[in-house]
């Protein structure tokens, strides 16, 4: 079965410090991977998604970046954190459903347990 892991679970960082959050998926190959952020009391904001190694699409221009050095590894980084970067960061992977006759449907997202970042 497929699993997704994120770490660290919680971190407190000073403004201006760097950030690295890591996400790995097991039990599947070539997954579509996503980074979302959820600010306190808010909805999920898509930050980045990746359809393959080295392929990153950015949704929101900001001081964050993402990398996918391996098929099942997705990393979220920042060189200098801002106060506004505080939030709950969620990594997710997506299934696809084969419909038959070569057709596909978008499957659901499965989330990691999240990394809660507080920038002080």
Partner 1 sequence: RKEVEQDPGPFNVPEGATVAFNCTYSNSASQSFFWYRQDCRKEPKLLMSVYSSGNEDGRFTAQLNRASQYISLLIRDSKLSDSATYLCVVSSWGFNKFYFGSGTKLNVKP
Beta strands in 16-114, from DSSP E residues, in sequence order: 19-26, 32-38, 44-52, 55-58, 64-70, 73-78, 87-100, 103-111
Q: 50 vs 78, which CB is nearer to partner 1?
A: 50
Find where tokens 């596909």 sit: 104
- State how far the Cα of 67 lies from the Cα of 50, in Å rounded to an integer: 9
Closest CA to 120 of 3, 11, 46, 7: 11
Stretch that binds partner 1, among 21-29, 45-53, 62-70, 78-86 (CB under 8 A): 45-53
**For residues 12-31, which are near partner 1 according to CB under 8 A?**
none
Q: 78 vs 115, which CB is nearer to partner 1?
A: 115
Choice from 57, 63, 70, 84 touching partner 1 (CB under 8 A) = 57
Choice from 43, 54, 69, 100 touching partner 1 (CB under 8 A) = 43
Q: Which two tokens stand for residue 84?
A: 């506004």
46 belongs to the binding site for partner 1 (CB under 8 A)? yes
Footprint of partner 1 on this chain (CB under 8 A)? 32, 34, 36, 42-44, 46, 49, 51, 57, 59, 88, 90, 94, 104-114, 116
């Amino acid at each position: 079965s497929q699993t997704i892991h994120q770490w660290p679970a919680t971190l407190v960082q000073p403004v201006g410090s760097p950030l690295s959050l890591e996400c790995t998926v097991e039990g599947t190959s070539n997954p579509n991977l996503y980074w979302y952020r959820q600010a306190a009391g808010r909805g999920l904001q898509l930050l980045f998604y990746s359809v393959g190694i080295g392929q990153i699409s950015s949704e929101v221009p900001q001081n964050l970046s993402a990398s996918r050095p391996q098929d099942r590894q997705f990393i979220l980084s920042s060189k200098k954190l801002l106060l506004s970067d505080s939030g709950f960061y969620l990594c997710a992977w997506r299934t696809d459903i084969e419909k038959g006759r070569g057709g596909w449907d978008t499957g659901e997202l499965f989330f990691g347990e999240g990394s809660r970042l507080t920038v002080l």
